[in-house]
């Protein structure tokens, strides 16, 4: 192609802007640097070392992580705000992420709690994660969390959470998950008191089981609200997954509630709302509808725990959305009832002061 002078000038001016618009390949101003095998003074070779270097005060800090697979378990509990940024050539999607944190731990292999299994354990308020894959590589057979979230005002954006059982432990505090990838098979979005809002994520089932297991311990209106997410059968799904995936089942501890001060009912509450869910990828007409037509499951046939649940759906669409036959404990919301479950009801009316609206709009 022959470039005229004006078009050459135009492309010189415009192309760099376009090509850089969505990348983050160097540290944001003020960020501490993590780089594998670094020999540079002031940089850190592991994420935990960088976290440990931060002052234990209320200052607002950030960490930039260069490309690579970091085999470590990361625990964060400093007081001040913290953002973790992964190197990427496209900040808008998890699909270009170049940073992975991986660790293998499960309760079967000795971890004392779901939290202790987590590859990334966040025990603090005011935390954000951008463009980072977080994986628990234990595999099938036991509780093995990728993320363990215990904090208020946590934003998790364009990241991936990968595991099999109990991948994403939204256990305490308030969190938003935006434009991320969440993969697992058994109870892979779960927790007790956590209040969470999910928008624009791809939720990927790789084996038979329930996507959510909410076990709220109080009779309040807190819930997980999932709005405008896409459910897919994952690329590594086991044969026989089809028809054996449910939106959720009620976690709890019937008859076995040990000295918890806030328990107000015999059966723990379970509250999950799926709105505007795309079931099956839009482009794939041949998508295998893996959801069971009942959509929701009992805890187990001998211990159903369905007495005190809100399991609600509104406006499912996509190739896997037809032929639904809801059980009596589930609710099909009408438009006005569905409108009650918003980002504000999920994580608080102050959400606009801490949520990154490039990833989560609340719409
Ligand atoms: C921390 O700093 C970032 C970047 O300036 C800002 O977006 C964020 O709101 C701050 N967080 C808090 C809790 O002050
Ligand atoms: C963070 O955890 C460590 C180890 O458990 C503990 O000693 C420290 O007091 C905690 N810091 C904060 C701010 O909670
Ligand atoms: C939960 O609270 C609601 C609203 O206050 C009330 O109607 C319901 O009976 C309570 N359920 C239990 C099991 O306590
Ligand atoms: C929508 O559902 C709510 C809750 O069940 C009910 O109170 C309300 O009457 C319904 N509205 C319409 C228009 O059907």
Per-residue pLDDT of the chain (363 residues; tens, 9 = 90+): 444 555 555 555 554 444 445 999 999 999 999 999 999 999 999 999 999 999 999 999 999 999 999 999 999 999 999 999 999 999 999 999 999 999 999 999 999 999 999 999 999 999 999 999 999 999 999 999 999 999 999 999 999 999 999 999 999 999 999 999 999 999 999 999 899 999 999 999 999 999 999 998 777 788 999 999 999 999 899 998 988 999 999 997 544 444 444 544 455 689 999 999 999 866 554 456 689 999 999 999 988 888 889 999 999 998 888 889 999 999 999 999 999 999 999 999 999 999 999 999 999
Q: What is the dihedral sign for C-alpha 244, 247, 251, 255? A: negative
CA 242 – CA 288 distance, rounded (Å)? 7
CA 150 – CA 293 distance, rounded (Å)? 33
Domain-located, residue 204: yes
Is ligand 2 within 6 A of the CB of residue 125? no
Ligand 1: atom nearest CA of 60 is 1
Domain-located, residue 93: yes
Q: What is the SS3 assignment for 291?
A: strand
Find all residues with CB under 8 Å of 293, minimum gap 6, and list them.
323, 324, 325
- The domain that contains 72 carries what CATH number? 2.160.20.10
Range of the domain at 19: 5-347
Specify the residue with its C-alpha closest to ligand 3, atom 3.
219
Is ligand 3 within 6 A of the CB of residue 219? yes
Domain-located, residue 355: no
Distance 189 CA to ligand 1 centre (A): 27
Domain-located, residue 80: yes
Domain-located, residue 356: no
Domain-located, residue 138: yes
- Tell me the CA distances in angstroms from 344 to 45, 81, 129, 175, 276, one per residue in order: 39, 21, 21, 11, 17
Task: Respond yes or no: is residue 187 known to be catalytic.
Answer: yes
Task: Quote the number of domains for the chain.
Answer: 1
Contact 72, 101 (CB under 8 A): yes
Ligand 1: atom nearest CA of 356 is 7
Of the listed 115, 187, 303, 350, which one is catalytic?
187
Tokens of 259: 């000295």
pTM: 0.91
Domain-located, residue 357: no
Q: How many CB atoms lie within 10 A of CB 94?
A: 22
| Helix segments in 254-302, DSSP class H | none
Domain-located, residue 76: yes
Ligand 3: atom nearest CA of 266 is 13
């Amino acid at each position: 192609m022959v470039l005229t002078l004006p078009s050459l000038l135009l492309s010189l001016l415009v192309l760099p802007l376009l090509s850089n618009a969505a990348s983050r390949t160097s540290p944001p101003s003020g960020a501490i640097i993590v780089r594998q095998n670094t020999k540079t003074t002031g940089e850190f070779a592991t994420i935990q070392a960088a976290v440990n270097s931060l002052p234990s005060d209320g200052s607002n800090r950030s960490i930039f992580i260069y490309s690579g697979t970091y085999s470590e378990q990361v625990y964060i509990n400093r007081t001040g705000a913290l953002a973790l940024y992964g190197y990427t050539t496209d900040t808008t999607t998890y699909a270009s992420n170049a940073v992975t944190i991986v660790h293998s731990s499960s309760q079967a292999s000795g971890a004392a709690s779901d939290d202790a299994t987590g590859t990334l354990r966040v025990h603090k308020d005011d935390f954000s994660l951008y463009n980072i894959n977080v994986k628990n590589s234990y595999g099938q057979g036991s509780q093995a969390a990728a993320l363990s979230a215990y904090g208020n005002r946590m934003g998790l954006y364009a990241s991936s959470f990968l595991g099999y059982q109990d991948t994403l432990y939204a256990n305490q505090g308030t969190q938003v998950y935006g434009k991320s990838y969440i993969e697992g098979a058994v109870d892979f979005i779960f927790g007790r008191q956590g209040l969470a809002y999910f928008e624009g994520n791809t939720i990927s089932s790789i084996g038979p089981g329930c996507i959510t297991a909410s076990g709220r311990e109080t009779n309040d209106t807190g819930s997980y609200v999932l709005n405008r997410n896409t459910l897919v059968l994952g690329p590594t799904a086991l044969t026989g997954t089809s028809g054996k995936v449910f939106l959720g089942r009620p976690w709890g501890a019937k008859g076995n509630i040990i000295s918890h001060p806030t328990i107000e009912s015999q059966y723990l509450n379970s509250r999950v709302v799926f709105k505007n869910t795309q079931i099956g990828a839009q482009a794939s007409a041949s998508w295998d509808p893996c959801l069971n037509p009942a959509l929701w499951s009992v805890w187990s046939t001998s211990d159903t725990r369905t007495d005190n649940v809100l399991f609600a759906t509104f406006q499912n669409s996509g190739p896997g959305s037809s032929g639904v036959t809801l059980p009596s404990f589930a609710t099909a919301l009408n438009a006005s009832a569905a409108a009650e479950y918003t980002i504000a009801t999920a994580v608080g009316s102050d959400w606009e002061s801490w949520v990154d609206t490039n990833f989560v709009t609340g719409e």
